[in-house]
Amino acid sequence: MNFEKLFERAKEKNIEDIQVHYVADTKLDIEVLKGELENYTIADTKGLSVKGIFDGKMGTVSTEVINDDVIDFIVDSVIASANNIDSEDEVFIYGGDSIYQDVDDLYNKELEEVDAKTKIDLAFDLEKETLKLDEKIKMVQAFYSEVKHQVRILNSKGLDLSKVVNSATAGVYVIASDGKDQRTGIEYVQSNVYEDFDIENIAKEGAKRAVDALGAKSIKSGDYEVILENKASASLLAAHVSMFSAESVQKDVSLLKGKIGEKISKELISIVDDPFMKKSPRSGSFDDEGVATKYKELVSSGKLTGYLYNLKTAKKDEVGSTGNGFRNGISPTNFYIQPGKTSFDLSVQSMKKGLIISDLQGTHSGTSSVSGDFSLQASGYLVEEGKIVRPISLITVAGNYLEVLQDVTEVCNDLKMNFGYIGSPSIKIKALAIAGDE
């Protein structure tokens, strides 16, 4: 599509400013099961999102039909959209920042140059390696998926930014059975450096998660000291991340409203948003509004220091955008709880009686970012006198997320990003309500 022509047509129709956000993706998905290539998918897609200011309102439209024939559809849709909006928020098309930090390792050409056959073989090897680790392992689903993501932002104020990112995930989903009980485990690595996919290690971790959980039973209901393992803690944080969005705060649906400068957690906890994290596909020097991204601490030693902003919400609070304007709203880039010093093993050893919660299910339905209350299905291990006694399943863990942050007694050094961009180390919590079988 000729963007110049689109901008001209927009101007003729009295659209004050206009911006296009063009995305081109290529994808490769591989899945191996029972010694067979179960899934092989290749994709090549392009999409265009357009926003424009008409009569002081922001109109939007998106299309996958991208040619000069849809220029009128785009312009008319932007106007129809703007005409129906009655939000009085001030809206912006951004002229750009003077400096955008270089992020040089977003795209690794070598990853793309490894041929598809080699990547398929990697998945076969992952399955084989995992299966041979333990006879209780009944089935292994091995996967490799890779994406190359190109973005270009162009607007009528002269901004023209682009980036290319690539990333791959390799892992195993393991089913183990001892004849009576059946359990699952998952392990994966995300990177854009092909050599990072250590088959042996992924296989070992995945196998361990499934096999160790065999024979899991419920426990007696009550309050227990809990270590929330890194991935479980990350999924709980992910369910509550909208609390940190200035949009939620301004709309009065955030528990963190009016709490800047207050202690919202134990001093042990610091939470950051890091757009420059290595090997993350979420990293980059600009957001979808064209604003330069920045590294920032949202919680500094327990104290809430700020929210995540896009242009619109920043204007309302008379601050600058934090470069978190993504997809017409606000999203974090790489958002995580800073790791502490204690090792996970030491943290377990210092526990007299408690639980390790290694997995939480249903975080999309059993949490409320409005109230902070959660009640979730969990599984993990019972710990007594510093030792893992047995696996546990079919329990629920309930609480309030802000209370959890206040009750953290230890932060481990094992930070893990959970499928992408939200991460946490394992954290120890004084007490959580557990519902079991009696």
Partner 1 sequence: MLERKLITKVLEEALTTNADFSEIFIEDRSQASASMLSSKVERVHNSRTFGIGIRVAKGFHSVYGYTNSNTEEDLLKLANDLAQSFPGSQEKKNIVLGELKVGTSHKSRILPSTVEMKDKITLLKRADKAAREYSEVINQVMVNYQDYEQKVWIANSEGNYVHDVRVRTRIAIGSVAANEKSKQQGFNGPGGTHGFEFYTEMINVEEEAKEASRIATVMLTADHAPSGKMPVVIDNGFGGVIFHEACGHSLEATSVAPGMSVFSGKKGEKIASPLVTAIDDGTIENAWGSANFDDEGHPQKRRVLIKDGVLNSYMIDKLNAIRMNDEMTNSGRRESYRYAPTSRMTNTYIDNGESTFDEIISATEYGLYAKKMGGGSVNPATGDFNFSVSEAYLIRDGKIAEPVKGATLIGTGADALLKVDMVGNNLLTAQGMCGSASGSIPTDVGQPTIRVSEITVGGRKAAN
| Residues lying near partner 1 in the complex (CB under 8 A) | 33-34, 36-47, 59-66, 70, 73, 77, 80-88, 139, 175, 182-184, 218, 221-222, 251-253, 328, 361-362, 364-366, 368, 370-371, 373, 375-377, 393-399, 433, 435-438
Distances (CA, A) of 350 to 15, 345, 346: 64, 9, 6
Q: Report the alpha-carbon distance of residue 290 to residue 159 in Å, rounded.
A: 8
- Least separation, in Å, of the C-beta of 342 and partner 1? 28
Distances (CA, A) of 77 to 9, 50, 51, 59, 80: 13, 10, 10, 8, 5
- Least separation, in Å, of the C-beta of 218 and partner 1? 7
Please say whether the beta carbons of 163 and 203 come within 8 A.
no
Cβ closer to partner 1: 39 or 301?
A: 39
Cβ closer to partner 1: 33 or 151?
A: 33
The enclosing H or E element of 131 equals helix 116-131
Cβ closer to partner 1: 199 or 435?
A: 435
- Least separation, in Å, of the C-beta of 385 and partner 1? 26
Q: Report the alpha-carbon distance of residue 179 to residue 201 in Å, rounded.
A: 26
Cβ closer to partner 1: 221 or 301?
A: 221
By C-alpha distance, which of 72, 92, 98 is closest to 17? 92
Please say whether the beta carbons of 113 and 176 come within 8 A.
no
Cβ closer to partner 1: 12 or 69?
A: 69
Please say whether the beta carbons of 20 and 3 come within 8 A.
yes
- Least separation, in Å, of the C-beta of 66 and partner 1? 8
- Least separation, in Å, of the C-beta of 245 and partner 1? 13
Instruction: Say how many C-beta atoms besides its own lie within 10 A of residue 345's C-beta.
Output: 11
Q: Is 20 helix (H, G, I), strand (E, B) or coil?
A: strand
Cβ closer to partner 1: 69 or 385?
A: 69
Cβ closer to partner 1: 398 or 415?
A: 398
Q: Report the alpha-carbon distance of residue 327 to residue 309 in Å, rounded.
A: 13
Cβ closer to partner 1: 62 or 101?
A: 62
Classify the C-alpha dihedral 324-329-333-334 as positive or negative: positive
Note the residue count of the chain. 438
- Least separation, in Å, of the C-beta of 305 and partner 1? 24
- Least separation, in Å, of the C-beta of 109 and partner 1? 21
Q: Report the alpha-carbon distance of residue 88 to residue 91 in Å, rounded.
A: 9
- Least separation, in Å, of the C-beta of 338 and partner 1? 29
Q: Is 54 helix (H, G, I), strand (E, B) or coil?
A: strand
Cβ closer to partner 1: 76 or 297?
A: 76
- Least separation, in Å, of the C-beta of 294 and partner 1? 26
Tokens of residue 348, six digits:
């377990």
Cβ closer to partner 1: 73 or 160?
A: 73
Cα 344 from chain centroid (whole Å)? 23
The alpha-carbon radius of gyration of the chain (Å, integer) is: 24
How many CA atoms lie within 13 Å of 57's alpha carbon, on the beta-carbon side?
15
- Least separation, in Å, of the C-beta of 396 and partner 1? 2
